[in-house]
Structure 1
Amino acid sequence: MRRSAGPGARPSLDGVELPRRPVLLFWALAVTLEVLLGVAFLLTGADAAIETGLDRAGLDFGSDLVTAARVVVAYPAALVGVLLALAQVAAPDLAVLLVAGVRGGRRLVRVVGRRFRPWSPEVGARTGLRIWLVVVVVFTACNLASGLLHRAFVPDDLTWRLSGSMLALLPVAMFLDAGALLEENGWRGFALPVLLRSHGPVAASVLVGLAWATWHFPVKYDAFVDYGLGGGLAYLGAFTVKLVAISVVMTFFWARAGQATLLAVAMHGLSNDVARIGGLADGITWQSSAISELDLALPFVVVALALIPYANRTGWGRLRS
């Protein structure tokens, strides 16, 4: 479950040599790409174009590719903005390619690509499908629990209309969420298996969760504009707790399925909840924003704390595959 290289040994992944401190390099490259693309996004007025597209399409913001396509159809001038937004979201996957350019080359890309599967051959379809079913139930239940918490603690900021159409949107959430589809080769396809070579699964999950959360910070700069220093830090702290908890839960199922990045894509998409099973909470104050993030975090914290003892007893699944 835990493997460590000798002193001075170069880190590697499945026999492919990596640069020194590969995860730190990957994270730094992902943040740099995100910032550069974010500046381009703002300088081109892409945000205003996308807002116009959303208004013309009669849509709320959504992180899925279906929403992106509808915005472009309704307002073709938003195309550049949508492409820049997608490129920014794809920064973690693009960072893997840059790491491969430093060391590892095509072999590293192939190693990461081999994990883009619903389950490993050792797990098999029968067990793999059961794992997928459990994932859908667990993540949907967590979203529903978050909606109930929102209704209890931030009712004035919550829009929530449960309907059967949410079920139809689950495949969109699982497979067409832009963040999930364009990030997970970085977080769970590359960073997590590298960290598992020198850290236990919980520590590796927490580190990936922290990298995942802090990578978002540059695009959340407006939290400090809207809420001030203290309020912005409170909001980002709650946001970080959420992603760390989700990261632990994702590692468990990812490992049970044999390091399956496609399952990570589905879990990431379900946690983003474009189906709105947990409703839409728009924080007006820093308090309501922080509370709504903690509402999203709490169900996953509970699931993570329940899974860790079981996972420790059973070895976290196929972490060596």
Structure 2
Amino acid sequence: MATANARSGGLVLFMTVSFATSWAAWFLAMNLDGSATEPPAIGPYVFGAFGPLIGALVVRIRRRRRGEPLPEHVVRFRPATLLWAPFLLALAAASVVGAAFLAHALGGPGVDLSEADGLFEKAGGAAPFFVSMLVTGPLSEEAGWRGTAYPRMRASMGRFTVGLVLGAIWLVWHLPLFFIDGTVQNKLGIDTLSGALFAASVLPMAMLTGYAYERAGVAASIAVHFAANTTMVLLGVEEPVTQASIMGVQLLLVLALLALPGTRRKPAAPSADPSSHPLAHTGA
């Protein structure tokens, strides 16, 4: 009972800190003049993305102070699991590109990278662009959503159910971005089909990153999150047919991955964590 209470308390604490931090920062960004990509709004806009990471750190500090064991379904870091990260990164990117070609075959726009140069120029080069895509999203969120919330929810739910429920929570967490000038969400609009599909796209993404986490931990979920986000941005995915195709392809991909033999991981036994590696138990 004590373990179950600790798990539940940790999940509530994580959600409270994550939402409070992110939404407070984004509310400030909404009420500042200018775009979210420029001062003064860029500060709180970017800080808000780190709400899940801050929530994960708060939960971890509390757990260690109380001497509580790791949640049963935490995926521990092992160097060998890093071999999965590039494979899953390529698979996530391919799901977006493949879906874009499928959408074109169905009458949607063609695959176009013409906007990439503009994005690189605005970011100050290709390297800063990719770094920004890695930091604001994958690194700022995955230790929280997957490293902290996922194993606690997984204790009482199946993998598919956790993906849907955590995906729905993730969707709600993103909603303030529709009201901040300069964001992709604001450009699409919350009252449009493109905006609704963009918001709903986090559901298959939550399942895909959840699979990656169970397979190889936070490093793998970061890789999947980064690959999907970056590929979608570079392709300028905005048309509903393309967005729907990406959602469909990623859902089928997740179902296929979960059906593969050997995907049922044995959960980590509860224990005190040795913190033997910087990525070990990230956010748990």
Matched, 1:211 2:184: no
| 2:153 aligned residue (177, 195, 209) | 195
CA offset digits 1:73-123 (Å, max 9, x no partner): xxxxx2x4332122111111222345567x5365689969xx7x9x723xx
Tell me which of 236, 240, 243 is aligned to 1:293.
243
Q: How does 1:101-250 map to 2 (within 5 A)?
A: 103-104=62-63, 106=65, 120-121=77-78, 124-125=79-80, 128-129=82-83, 131-152=84-105, 153-155=107-109, 159-161=112-114, 172=130, 176-221=134-179, 231-232=191-192, 234-235=193-194, 237-250=196-209
| CA 139–265 in structure 1, closer or farther in 2 if over 3 Å, else same | same
Counterpart CA distance in 2 for 1:48 and 1:26 is: 29
What runs of 5+ residues in structure 2 fail to find an aligned partner? 121-125, 270-284
Give the counterpart of 1:85 among 42, 45, 49: 45
TM-superposed CA distance for 1:307, in Å, is: 1.5
2:232 is equivalent to residue 262 of structure 1: no
> Which residue does 2:257 correspond to in 1?
307
Aligned counterparts of 1:201 and 1:39: Cα–Cα separation in 2: 33
SS state at 2:209 partner: helix
Gaps of 5+ in 1: 1-5, 54-77, 283-287
Match of 2:123 in 1: none
- Taking the aligned partners of 1:298 and 1:201, their CA distance within structure 2 comes to 18
Report the TM-score, using the length of structure 2 for normalisation.
0.71
The Cα of 1:236 is off from its aligned counterpart by 5.6
1:280 counterpart = 2:239: no
Deviation of 1:243 (Å): 1.7
Which structure's relative contact order is higher, taking Cα pairs within 8 Å and 6+ residues apart?
Answer: 2
Q: Determine if contact 1:174/1:267 at 8 Å carries over to the other structure.
A: no
- Partners of 2:243 and 2:267 in 1: CA distance: 30
Rounded Cα–Cα distance in structure 2 between residues aligned with 1:317 and 1:19: 22
Amino acid at match of 1:249: L
- TM-score after normalising by structure 1: 0.64
The residue aligned with 2:11 is: 23
Q: CA deviation at 1:301?
A: 1.1
Quote the residue 1:320 is aligned against: 268
User: In 1, distance between residues paired with 2:113 and 2:68?
Assistant: 42
Q: Provide the residue aligned with 1:34 in structure 2.
A: 22
Q: When the two structures are aligned, how many residues end up with a matched partner?
A: 256
**8 Å CA contact 2:208, 2:254 repeated in 1:** yes
Residues 37 and 84 of structure 1 are in contact (CA less than 8 Å); yes or no, is this contact kept in structure 2? yes
Aligned residue type for 1:84: P
- AA at the equivalent of 2:264: W
Which amino acid counterpart does residue 198 of structure 2 have in structure 1?
Answer: F
Separation (CA, whole Å) in 1 of partners of 2:205 and 2:143:
17
C-alpha distance in 1, partners of 2:138/2:26? 18
Displacement of 1:42 after TM fit?
A: 2.4
Structure with higher Rg: it is: 1
Instruction: Report Cα offsets for 1:224-246 as digits up to 9, x if no partner.
Output: 99767xx44x5565335422212
Matched to 2:100, the amino acid is: G
How many percent of aligned residue pairs carry the same amino acid? 18
- Which of 11, 16, 30 is the matching residue for 2:4? 11
Which stretch of the first structure deviates more once superposed, 24-33 or 195-204? 24-33
Q: Secondary structure at the match of 2:35?
A: helix
2:210 to 251, 270, 277: 251
